[in-house]
Structure 1
Amino acid sequence: MSASSLIRLIALAALWGGSFLFMRVAVPSLEAVPTAVMRGLFSALGLGMALWAMGYRPRLGRYLWPLLLLGVINSGIPFLMYALAAQVLPSGYSAIFNATTPLMAVVVGALFFAEGITAARVLGVVLGIGGVAVLAQAGPLELTPAALGGIAACFAATVCYAFSSFLTLKLAGTHAAVDMRAAVFISQLGALVVLLPAFCVAWWLEPGMLSQLVQAPLLAWGNVLLLGLLSTALAYVIYFRLIADEGPNKALTVTFIVPVFAVLWGWLLLDEPLSAAHAAGGGLIALSLWVVLRSKTQ
């Protein structure tokens, strides 16, 4: 992996690690579905205004529908799943379970995209999962039915991310016909294809939801705005570029570093404690990244 890609990898991990912090602050006041919807909406608006200001006008033709579908898989469903998980899982756990995405990508790549499984990939994934398991011991989770539902939502999101990473490479990779700026923007519009109907259903089930949103504190709205603009719009620009340059398997190793940043932001901003388990887990995660990234194969 090149130095520029490594910098992008770390920046992306910092942004996605922050997303779990933003959700933990926003969801209690805005609830899960509105948080996910506003995340997608602010992301699409931010990207759209930036592209318009740059004078960019995408011409997609036959790629419009594939990119919208990519947005459903890559953003819409995961946004909703992680917002639902944020209602029931303790601090940082969604980030920890998100780190199983490379394992899902290895399985999905082998089953559906003719990707080879190398010893380095397997060893790197095992070490990364081991690091995540050690991190999880820093704050044991009581496996209530609600917590199990949150865990299931996280794993559903990781499966979506695994599939979408390969689809992104085909639609917006280095040799693809679609400009990456268009791919990122249209994929965020695709997310709204899932999120807006979910919002309508939530509103129908809870008519007082709009009043609750209006009365929500500015802190919650500020966090969901940062979630949409920084941890989604900017993050996906970096992520798509990383996939184009390094391939999906190496790009998805970012999920190993995300829990480290989620714990770090929680310590810095929410006064959450650090322990030896965090140091040991972070060390295993760093070793797993070294094993995966030193491999010349994607």
Structure 2
Amino acid sequence: MQKSDIARLLFLAALWGASFMFMRIASPAFGAINTAFLRVFFGFCGLATILLVMRGSFRFDGKMKQVLLLGVINSGIPFLMYCIAAQLLPAGYSAILNATTPMMGVMIGALFFAEALTLKKSAGVVTGLLGIILITTTGNASEAHILLPGIVCCLIATACYGVAGFLTRRWINQRGGLDARTLAMGSQLGATLFLLPFFIGSLTTGPQVQWGQSEAWLSVLAVGFLCTAAAYIFYFHLVASIGPLRSLTVTFLIPPFGVLWGWLFLDEALPGSFFIGAAVICLAVWLVITPSRAERANQPQVK
């Protein structure tokens, strides 16, 4: 792995880690639905602009419906869940729970997509569940009662990511594929269309929102253009450079950045027992995403 790849990996993790801080700022100010909609809308605008500037393809080759639906599953619902969680949890909690995505993928693959569940991956799932229990029971009973709904929202989001990964393979990759930038832009369009009715309903019947909050607007713009649009481009370059397996190591780096930004800019103080649960979840992710000897033997070498 080149130094430039390492720098790109760290920068990507810093961007995605910062998204939880930005949602933590914007969601209480604008509301979960409004924040989620604005994130995917600005993400779509940013990706569409990038495609225009880079003269990318806007062709979906007959997969438009599937791409839009993937946007709902992979962005619309998860971003809404994270925005709800941002009103209930410190940014560090959401960042750590986001790392359960590979574990969710293993569970969903085994239950619904006939994926082989190896002993190592099974151990990762069990370990991850233990980590979630440790985080959920951190602090006193009153705090746990407040945190639990936010934790459930985060787990719904990561379950959606797990489902979307398998559906992308079935609907897109096994049907001739699609340019990754076009797929990303189309998915954000699908998420925008999905959240638009909820956004309109929130504006017309929801609580009054003070839209003149500059800090919240800066956070929404940052999470849309930087943590969504720009991050996608960095991720695609990373996959092309070091391969999808090595790119998954970003999963380990997002939680430390999420906790760091929350501590630096939001004065979030997390109990020591939280970090024990976080370490257990990171161990679970490692067990899930690192291939066994047999899997490594069957994989092509990435240089």
| Interval of TM-score (by shorter of Structure 1 and Structure 2) | 0.7 to 0.9
Q: Does 1:220 align with 2:221?
A: no
Write the distance in 2 (CA, Å) between the matches of 1:39 and 1:148.
24
Report SS of the residue matched to 1:62: coil
Letter in 2 for 1:93: Y
Q: Indicate the residue corresponding to 1:163 in structure 2.
A: 163
Please report the RMSD computed on the Cα atoms of aligned residues, expressed in angstroms: 3.4
1:235 and 2:234 aligned: no
TM-aligned CA deviation for residue 288 of structure 1: 4.1
Aligned pairs for 1:251-290 (under 5 A) are: 254-255=250-251, 257-273=253-269, 276-277=272-273, 280-281=276-277, 283-285=279-281, 287-290=283-286
| In 2, Cα distance between equivalents of 1:75 and 1:61 | 21
What is the CA–CA distance in structure 1 between the aligned matches of 2:271 and 2:220, rounded to whole Å?
Answer: 29
Q: Which residue of 2 is the match for residue 106 of structure 1?
A: 106
Q: What secondary structure, in the 3-state scheme, does the structure 2 residue paired with 1:271 have?
A: coil
Q: Percent identity?
A: 46
1:89-168 counterparts in 2 under 5 A? 89-131=89-131, 142-144=143-145, 147-168=147-168
Residues 107 and 278 (structure 1), Cα distance of their counterparts in 2 relative to 1, 3 Å cut: closer
Give the deviation of 1:80 after TM superposition: 1.1
The one-letter amino acid of 1:18's match is A
How far residue 107 of structure 1 moved from its aligned partner, in angstroms, is 1.6
Q: How does 1:155-194 map to 2 (within 5 A)?
A: 155-171=155-171, 173=173, 176-194=176-194
Stretch moving more, 186-195 or 112-121 = 112-121
State the alpha-carbon separation in 1 of the partners of residues 274 and 152 from structure 2: 24
Q: Indicate the SS of the match to 1:56.
A: coil
Q: Which string of whole-angstrom CA distances, capped at 9 and with x for unpartnered residues, describes residues 15-50 of structure 1?
A: 222111001111222221111111011100111111
Is the partner of 2:62 in helix, strand or coil?
A: helix
1:240-251 matched pairs, under 5 angstroms: 245-246=243-244
Distance 1:89 1:282 in 2: 15
Q: Quote the Cα distance in structure 1 between the aligned partners of 2:122 and 2:189.
A: 35
More moved, 173-182 vs 116-125: 173-182
Q: How far apart, CA to CA, are the structure 2 residues paired with 1:276 and 1:178?
A: 45
Displacement of 1:148: 3.7
- Number of residue equivalences: 291
- Cα offset, 1:218, TM superposition: 1.5
> What residue ranges of structure 1 are gaps of 5+ in the alignment?
none
CA distance in 2, matches of 1:187, 1:157: 16
Is the CA contact 2:40–2:191 (under 8 Å) kept in the aligned structure 1?
yes
Q: Deviations over 1:52-111 (max 9, x none)?
A: 011223211311110000001000111111111212223422223333322221121012
Read off the aligned partner of 1:40 and give its amino acid letter.
Answer: V
Q: Give the TM-score of the pair, scaled to structure 2.
A: 0.80
Does the 8 Å contact 1:169/1:243 carry over to 2?
no
1:295 to partner: Cα distance: 1.6
Distance in 1, Cα, partners of 2:286 & 2:279: 11
